[in-house]
């Protein structure tokens, strides 16, 4: 499906927010299906798309090149030491529709590539992800801390499940 046709379909649904979100998610599903490991619609106006790390940048480029919404946040999900996985979630919004690209990385050496070459404003989100979850974002333009104090202990990531901040 070409980008011009997608834009026409998106604009035809703009008068009805429910229809617009449904159409936007349908388009995203078509665009990303070939590169997804799995897809799920956990609730209304949401589409979760799991992608392998090697297909991740391609899926981001697809959404940006077709002008499917904007990156609204990057978040992390620590499954804990037992599962040895961290999932990085990239939330894209188009009106009421939200597509979340979900990428897993090993917890003991979590790494994902930067999306800043595609979405320059992602630097803020990438820094936050690194600071709170310890995920190394390969190629990000800056690694400066955002929230934690300068004397914060290196290697202590406050949103990891096994971190005890009480001691």
Task: Report the DSSP pairing between strands 46-50 and 38-40.
Answer: antiparallel
- For the beta carbon of residue 15, count every other beta carbon within 10 angstroms: 8
Mean pLDDT of 8-14: 49
What is the arithmetic mean of pLDDT over 20-42? 96
Q: Which of 101, 11, 10, 88 is nearest to 47 (CA)?
A: 101
Lowest average pLDDT, out of 67-76, 87-96, 99-108, 146-155, goes to: 146-155
Which two three-digit tokens encode residue 63?
């959404």
Average predicted confidence (pLDDT) for the chain: 91
pTM over 0.75: yes
Q: What is the pLDDT of residue 8?
A: 40
Residue, of 164 and 36, whose pLDDT is higher: 36
What are the extents of the domains in the chain? 3-106
**Environment class of 75 (CB within 10 Å of its CB; exposed 0-12, middle 13-18, buried 19+):** middle
Helices (H), 13-146: 17-32, 53-65, 123-133
**Could you read off the pLDDT of 83-136 as tens digits, one per residue?**
999 999 999 999 999 999 999 999 999 999 999 999 999 999 999 999 999 999
In this predicted structure, the answer to whether residue 76 has a pLDDT above a threshold of 90 is yes
Q: What would the two tokens of residue 16 be?
A: 């009805």
Q: Does domain 3-106 have CATH number 1.10.357.10?
A: no
pLDDT computed for residue 14 by the predictor: 55
Unique residue bearing structure tokens 């096994």: 162
**5-14, 27-36, 93-102: the lowest-pLDDT one:** 5-14
Specify the pLDDT at position 12: 47
Residue 17 has pLDDT above 70, yes or no: yes
Higher pLDDT, 91 or 17: 91
| Residue 48 near residue 100 (C-beta atoms within 8 A) | yes
Mean pLDDT (whole number) for 31-58:
97
* CA-wise closest residue to 76 among 63, 90, 55, 60: 90
């Amino acid at each position: 499906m070409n980008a011009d046709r997608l834009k026409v379909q998106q604009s035809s649904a703009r008068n009805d927010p429910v229809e617009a979100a449904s159409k936007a998610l349908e388009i995203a599903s078509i665009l990303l299906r070939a590169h997804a490991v799995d897809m799920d619609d956990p609730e209304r106006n949401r589409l979760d798309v799991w992608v392998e790390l090697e297909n991740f940048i391609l899926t981001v480029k697809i959404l940006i090149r077709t002008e499917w919404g904007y990156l609204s946040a990057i978040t992390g999900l620590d499954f804990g030491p037992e599962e040895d996985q961290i999932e990085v979630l990239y939330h894209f919004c188009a009106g009421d529709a939200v597509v979340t690209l979900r990428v897993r990385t090993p917890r003991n050496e979590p790494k994902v590539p930067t999306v800043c070459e595609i979405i320059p404003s992602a630097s803020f989100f990438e820094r936050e992800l690194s600071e709170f979850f310890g995920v190394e974002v390969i190629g990000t333009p800056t690694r400066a801390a955002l929230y934690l104090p300068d004397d914060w202990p290196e290697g202590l990531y406050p949103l990891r499940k096994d971190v005890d901040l009480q001691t």
